[in-house]
Amino acid sequence: MTSRSLHPAPGGQPATSDTRLPVRHLPRPATPGQWLYRERFMLARRVLQISVLVLFYGTLHAGWTLLGRPLLTGNLSSARLLGTVPLADPFAVLQMLVARHALATEVLLGAGMTLLIYLLLGGRVFCAWVCPMNIVTDAAAWSRQKLGVDTSRDLVRLPANTRYVALVMALVISALAGVAAFEAFSPIAMLHRELIYGAGIGLAASLGIWLIDTLVLHRGWCGHLCPLGAFWSLLGRVGLLKVAFDDASCTRCGDCVKSCPEPRVLHFAEIARRGMVASGECTNCGRCVAVCPESSLGFDLRLRIHPAALPGGRSVCPAPGDPS
Ligand code: SF4
Ligand code: SF4
């Protein structure tokens, strides 16, 4: 058994090793090609996020069609693909159900369809790959880095679990008020409305979130407050697409933890034991995969990932609180 600790050191940084291979870091990209490769997941996410917006916009304002059918109509809460396939946000539908709204079968089918897609991909794939607010919050994270604002200068401290309280509150208020509470005030819906329909206060709301994330609380919106992110996190645990982890090649350099918007999901003892990032709060953004100098992380299907074959099926160093 190795003497190496799998616990991240205090402050979220992994412990150093005396038994693993020497720690290395990826060099800064020296050519445009290297930069494109390093940023491949970020670029792919932006292409998809912007494409979804462009499809809504083009269908509404330029009448885009495919095979004579409108490409994508509606909004992020309730949409129709090719005039036929219904898509609906299951969290919005859940709020409407607890608010006792009568819903058309098509809306329920649309929610079921969306649920199926994200259950296969992993719930928070929506957050990193589709949600337009992610562009704003990633921009805020970049601004913090450029301004040298570290988490010790956060003006507010909140547990990441606050978003689950927001989720419950959204449902309770929906039930009491008889309206879908989060939908009424969602900055995501506001941003989408302003970008597609040119109406509302979505850009002002986005500026507010950018300011909060930049100056008040690191990853304040997506990482602490958004009830929609919390909803997808609950479903994310059962998603099929996972970030697989190879414990043997990992040197605990910590670059993945530093790059991750939800760093607590990269608890080394846990991911070594499971062979993957199992937490539903992982957004499948791919940042950790892109920065790992040892290729110890990579996307794979859950069914192909096997937990570490350690004595008793346990990690070499139990996570805090684990029974020994
Ligand atoms: S998984 Fe990769 S990036 Fe993360 S600590 Fe291990 S070697 Fe470093
Ligand atoms: S573990 Fe990796 S894929 Fe998951 S949120 Fe963190 S950086 Fe993104």
Summarize pLDDT for 34-85 with one digit per residue, the tens.
Answer: 999 999 999 999 999 999 999 999 999 999 999 999 999 999 999 999 999 9
Ligand 2 atom, smallest distance to 284 CA: 3
> Looking at ligand 2, which residue's alpha carbon is closest to its atom 6?
260
Q: Which long-range contacts (CB under 8 A, 24 or more apart) does 169-177 make?
A: 169/227, 170/95, 170/227, 171/94, 171/95, 171/98, 174/95, 174/96, 174/98, 174/99, 175/98, 175/99, 175/100, 177/99
CA distance 245 to 297: 5
Q: Tokens for 268, please give them.
A: 């080394």
The pLDDT value recorded for residue 150 is: 86
Q: What are phi and psi of 266, to 5 degrees?
A: -100, 50
Judged against a pLDDT cut of 80, whether residue 33 lies above it is answered with: yes
Average pLDDT, the chain: 89
> Looking at ligand 1, which residue's alpha carbon is closest to its atom 4?
256
The pLDDT value recorded for residue 251 is: 95
The residue extents of the domains of the chain are 1-38+240-319, 48-126, 135-234
Judged against a pLDDT cut of 80, whether residue 283 lies above it is answered with: yes
Q: Is residue 281 lining ligand 1, measured as CB closer than 6 Å?
A: no
Return the HEC string of 18-68. CCCCCCCCCCCCCCHHHHHHHCHHHHHHHHHHHHHHHHHHHHHHHCCEECC
CA dihedral over 303, 309, 315, 317, signed as positive or negative: negative
pLDDT tier at 107, thresholds 50, 70, 90:
very high
**Contact 118/232 with Cβ under 8 angstroms?**
yes
Q: Is residue 114 lining ligand 1, measured as CB closer than 6 Å?
A: no
The pLDDT value recorded for residue 262 is: 96
> Cα of 182 to ligand 2 centre, how many Å?
26
Nearest ligand to the CA atom of 295: 1
The pLDDT value recorded for residue 271 is: 97
Ligand 2 atom, smallest distance to 283 CA: 5
Judged against a pLDDT cut of 50, whether residue 276 lies above it is answered with: yes
Judged against a pLDDT cut of 90, whether residue 169 lies above it is answered with: yes
Query: What is the average pLDDT across 283-287?
Result: 97
> Looking at ligand 2, which residue's alpha carbon is closest to its atom 7?
260
pLDDT tier at 6, thresholds 50, 70, 90:
very low
CA distance 179 to 183: 9
> Looking at ligand 2, which residue's alpha carbon is closest to its atom 2?
288
The pLDDT value recorded for residue 308 is: 67
pLDDT tier at 200, thresholds 50, 70, 90:
confident
| CB-side neighbour CA atoms (13 Å) of 56 | 21
Residue from 246, 247, 253 to probe ligand 1 pocket by mutation (most atoms less than 8 Å from CB): 253
pLDDT tier at 320, thresholds 50, 70, 90:
very low
Query: What is the average pLDDT across 190-205?
Result: 93
The more confidently predicted of residues 143 and 154 is 143
The pLDDT value recorded for residue 4 is: 37
Ligand 2 atom, smallest distance to 289 CA: 2
The pLDDT value recorded for residue 319 is: 36
> Looking at ligand 2, which residue's alpha carbon is closest to its atom 4?
282
CA distance 115 to 120: 9
- Tens-digit pLDDT profile for residues 8-21: 433 344 444 457 78
pLDDT tier at 199, thresholds 50, 70, 90:
confident
**Contact 262/138 with Cβ under 8 angstroms?**
no
Write the Ramachandran bin of 201: left for phi over 0, alpha for psi from -120 to 50, otherwise beta.
Answer: alpha
DSSP 3-state of 78: strand
Nearest ligand to the CA atom of 289: 2
Query: What is the average pLDDT across 79-95?
Result: 96
Alpha helices in the chain (DSSP H): 32-38, 40-62, 90-98, 105-121, 125-129, 133-147, 162-177, 181-185, 187-197, 202-211, 220, 227-236, 255-259, 268-274, 287-291
The more confidently predicted of residues 274 and 150 is 274
> Cα of 213 to ligand 1 centre, how many Å?
26
- Tens-digit pLDDT profile for residues 113-142: 999 999 888 879 999 999 999 999 999 999
The pLDDT value recorded for residue 18 is: 53
> Looking at ligand 2, which residue's alpha carbon is closest to its atom 1?
282
Judged against a pLDDT cut of 70, whether residue 3 lies above it is answered with: no
CA distance 194 to 307: 46
Query: What is the average pLDDT across 224-243?
Result: 94
Ligand 1 atom, smallest distance to 251 CA: 7
Q: Is residue 14 lining ligand 1, measured as CB closer than 6 Å?
A: yes
Judged against a pLDDT cut of 50, whether residue 218 lies above it is answered with: yes
